[in-house]
Amino acid sequence: RIYLDHNATTPLRPAARDAMVVALGGPANASSVHGEGRAARGLVESARRSLAAATGAKVKNIVFTSGATEANVTVLTPNISVSGQLRPATRLFVGATEHASVLSAGRFDPRRVTILPVTGDGVIDKSQAERLVRGEAEAGGVPLVSVMAANNETGVVQPLAGISRIVRDAGGYLHVDAVQALGRIPVSIGAWDCDIMSVSSHKIGGPQGVGAIVYGRDDLRAAPLITGGGQEGRHRAGTENVAAIAGFGAALEELAVAEEAARITALRDWLEAELRHIYGDTVVFGRDVPRLPNTISFAVAGMVAETALIACDLAGAAVSSGSACSSGKVSSSHVLEAMGVPVDLARGALRLSLGWTSTREDVERFAEIWRGLVNRMKPAKAGKAA
């Protein structure tokens, strides 16, 4: 099998599995004061240090959650406090191509949500963002802006420094969904100057069902979504999923972002060139702007993505149409729609996403599968660029 769907989820890294097996070996409530409990606490805190190192955050500013969906929904709330004083966000601004868990706007009244448009390349339109966000500040409000570091469907990377400047000028809060960026491009909460970040374990070779809220400031907190016990510094109640957190920590320790990015970029660029060679009119989305090293979002006019996906699957390759989170739905991608991609082209959009298991052999075999498929599906126009 050829697995080219790392943006949906990544195969578990052996080190993560080993760490999980160890953690599952004993009774482990990280809040217990006995030896077993202290051992569990040690695993959780070690993972917290690994995540702090990977994001440039302070250890005390990390809150483990059940994943990035929970992290996003928790922090997208008007109920934000600074130094213990409530300083509520009055309006939420979200990028048009955000993940569904951000577009759902957390605990905001839908009437207090504004969508920030993107350009044809999928990049936030900065002048529009500036006008909208500044407007809220001028009306006496406090904007909360949520923009992803990199898109899960296209890999398009957002210009966070520029966006952060807009938010700072407006006296607002900035949240960054860094799920697809972590492990693939440098992630730094300080360099991005953002207040809050969300990350997920299963996109970096860790287990599913664990993620985190990472705060860039000691003094700023969103009101907890899940209340009860005092776990995670009273910011997320519920007994910690120690094995999953330990697996996440081990996966973080395996990351070698620069080396991996160089290796994956070479494989991706080779494959992308092959796709365009196999069918000249292949459209690659986000090709002219900064993108993740691992993602190819592309389409062939007249092709139906679901048909192509099933054909690839039967031939031994796991790929995705649109985003995996919306698979099962026949509707076309909101990301491509926001970029103004014509519906008939968007219907043929496939996503290939590489990762830590990807090899030269994988991309070469996929290119062969694709060549055969295009020859069958588009016999009239198949072949080299006309």
Where does this chain bind ligand PMP (CB under 6 A)? 67-69, 99, 101, 148, 152, 177, 179-180, 200, 211, 325
Report yes or no: 335 and 151 within 8 Å, Cβ to Cβ: yes
Distance CA 78, CA 282 (A): 43
| 64 vs 215, beta carbon nearer ligand PMP | 64
| 9 vs 32, beta carbon nearer ligand PMP | 9
| 141 vs 293, beta carbon nearer ligand PMP | 293
> From its phi and psi, is residue 231 left (phi > 0), alpha (psi between -120 and 50) or beta?
beta
Residue number closest to ligand PMP, CB atom: 67
What is the greatest pairwise CA distance in the chain?
72
Closest approach, Cβ 150 to ligand PMP, in A, equals 8
Distance CA 58, CA 46 (A): 13
Closest approach, Cβ 381 to ligand PMP, in A, equals 33
- Which one from 223, 325, 369, 382 is the annotated catalytic residue? 325
| 61 vs 101, beta carbon nearer ligand PMP | 101
Residue 328 makes CB contacts below 8 A (sequence gap 6+) with: none
Distance CA 22, CA 64 (A): 19
Report yes or no: 108 and 141 within 8 Å, Cβ to Cβ: no
325 given a catalytic annotation: yes
Q: Output the six-digit token pair for 202.
A: 């299963």
Distance CA 3, CA 35 (A): 42
Residue ranges of alpha helices (H) inside the chain are: 14-23, 35-55, 68-75, 100-103, 126-138, 160-169, 231-234, 242-254, 257-278, 305-314, 334-338, 343-346, 360-377
| 90 vs 327, beta carbon nearer ligand PMP | 327
Closest approach, Cβ 180 to ligand PMP, in A, equals 5
Task: Provide the annotated active-site residues.
Answer: 325
